[in-house]
Structure 1
Amino acid sequence: MVDVRPGRVELSDRRTESTWSVELAAYRIAETPVTREQYAAIAGTDGGGEPGAALPMDSVSWDDAVRFCNRLSEWAGLTPVYRWAGETTETIAAAGGYRLPTEAEWEFACRAGTEGPRYGDLDEIAWYRGNSANRVHTVGGKRPNGWGLYDMLGNVWEWCWDIYDPAVYGDYRVLRGGGWFDEHWSCRASVRRRSHPTLRLDDVGFRVAQSVFSVGAHTG
């Protein structure tokens, strides 16, 4: 986990041509996406996808991801973040356990203080259609961003907590980062994708985050 300082990030959506600014408290975010080995150790299954302990876990739904976060919290002796009220997933505000990042946290961490579409040359930092040979790759195989975070772009899309646009898409959740099958234009810090929270896709994974309730958190 990498500590991230408080900050502000401006998000945008090309579909609606809208922008909005988000203030962020300090938080922590995982250095890499959750791997198959990590997922299997906590959830008891790796989903039966392409074998490889250090491959990012893919074909995992948003529902699977939040349940994994709770299991990981319990394993670590922390208060789980999520609870269920019927079919609705809620968060426990003061819980110190693991969770999905918000999309604002994700983009702030991805940019790592940079302002362009990417934090480096795409071939050096990401697996995408131009260099992936149409398959997922071991995490951490490309150059990290300035805060030591790997695979923020490319390899697998990553689930975020947020609902994409409830007025139009219902409870579809946000995906960020681009994946191994995507063209270069999808692997940018600002690109947003959406999917139903129950769907499992072979280019979608996730990384975990954690709230910080004490002062003094720092970047990287």
Structure 2
Amino acid sequence: MPLSIAPRAVAIPAGSVAMHDARTGRRWSVEVAPFEIGATPVTQIEYAAVTGEWPAARRGDLLPVEGVSWWDAIEYCNALSIQAGFQPAYERYGDTAVWLVASDGYRLPTEAEWERACRADSTGPRYGAIDAVAWFRDNSDERLHPVGGKEPNGWGLYDMLGSVWEWCWDLADPDRYGTYRSLRGGGWFDEHWSVRASVRRNSYPGLRIDDVGFRVVRSLVAPDSVRLGP
């Protein structure tokens, strides 16, 4: 596969991000190592080039791929890694996935990585005026739009807010939701209060729905640990 099939990436510098869980009221800070992240969510043409599949409810080459489960997303990451000559980031054992943290392959962002990338060192609920940066219920005509049509954040990332919710690696709240995985960013059908950098949603990893997609990241520094799961 030509490396150009991989989504265009933007390097994100190391730094800290303040996290918040509204349900429990817990607040914590995470130190994030440098990484690179897709400038846009994975598009339908990028997904099809790797998997041969077009799962989206509304087809369009430059529309975000949607209708993909968390499992579909990590399988795409592994397939893209293999085709690009990198070590796959995940191993799957039935209903359990293990992240090979030292891998140089493509993977889903952690929640902390996603929020750091989204905020781009901004401090408000959004990195710009909502109509300028996000497709959401009030301006989307209740449909998907091609990626990159709104203003980027300060690091050149598009559609971090609105468009499609994005799968993250993390378990959302295992004490309450078990194996549910985190989703971030809000989507084209959401009200403005759900389209903020801090909002957390979650669902079971097999969910396929027309406002959920993902973007990929790669580590730029090899961590000391080698495995992390489930």
The TM-score range, normalised by the shorter chain, is over 0.9
Alignment-derived partner of residue 52 in structure 1: 60
Distance 1:176 1:52 in 2: 23
Alignment-derived partner of residue 228 in structure 2: none
Distance 1:53 1:36 in 2: 5
Confirm or deny: 8 A CA contact 2:56 2:210 kept in the other structure: no
Distance 2:66 2:56 in 1: 10
Alignment-derived partner of residue 91 in structure 2: 83
- 1:179–1:17 distance in 2 versus 1, CA, 3 Å: same
Between 136-145 and 81-90, the greater mean CA deviation after superposition: 81-90
Distance 2:221 2:197 in 1: 27
**For residues 130-209 of structure 1, what are the structure 2 equivalents within 5 Å?**
130-209=138-217
SS of residue paired to 2:36: strand
Any gaps of 5 or more consecutive residues in structure 1? 215-220
Deviation of 1:206 after TM superposition, in Å, equals 0.1
SS of residue paired to 1:98: coil
Q: Deviations over 1:102-134 (max 9, x none)?
A: 000000000001000000000000000010000
Distance 2:129 2:56 in 1: 33
Alignment-derived partner of residue 48 in structure 2: 40
- 1:90–1:163 distance in 2 versus 1, CA, 3 Å: same
Quick one: which of 74, 80, 87 aligns to 1:66? 74
Alignment-derived partner of residue 14 in structure 2: 6
Confirm or deny: 8 A CA contact 2:118 2:197 kept in the other structure: yes
Deviation of 1:86 after TM superposition, in Å, equals 3.3
SS of residue paired to 1:152: coil
Deviation of 1:185 after TM superposition, in Å, equals 0.3
Alignment-derived partner of residue 113 in structure 2: 105
Distance 1:144 1:78 in 2: 28
* CA RMSD between the two structures: 0.9
Check if 1:93 corresponds to 2:111. no
Distance 2:56 2:206 in 1: 17
- 1:48–1:142 distance in 2 versus 1, CA, 3 Å: closer
SS of residue paired to 2:156: coil
Distance 1:16 1:48 in 2: 34
Distance 2:94 2:208 in 1: 22
- 1:211–1:119 distance in 2 versus 1, CA, 3 Å: same
Alignment-derived partner of residue 128 in structure 1: 136
Confirm or deny: 8 A CA contact 2:56 2:65 kept in the other structure: no
The residue type paired with residue 17 of structure 2 is: V
Percent of residue pairs bearing the same amino acid type: 58
SS of residue paired to 1:64: helix
SS of residue paired to 2:175: helix
Deviation of 1:91 after TM superposition, in Å, equals 1.0
The normalised TM-score by structure 2 is: 0.91
Distance 1:196 1:48 in 2: 19
The residue type paired with residue 177 of structure 2 is: Y
Confirm or deny: 8 A CA contact 2:66 2:210 kept in the other structure: yes
Alignment-derived partner of residue 218 in structure 1: none
Alignment-derived partner of residue 217 in structure 1: none
Alignment-derived partner of residue 20 in structure 1: 28
Confirm or deny: 8 A CA contact 2:33 2:221 kept in the other structure: no
SS of residue paired to 1:151: coil
Any gaps of 5 or more consecutive residues in structure 2? 1-8, 223-230
Distance 1:151 1:135 in 2: 14
Distance 1:91 1:161 in 2: 9
SS of residue paired to 1:58: coil
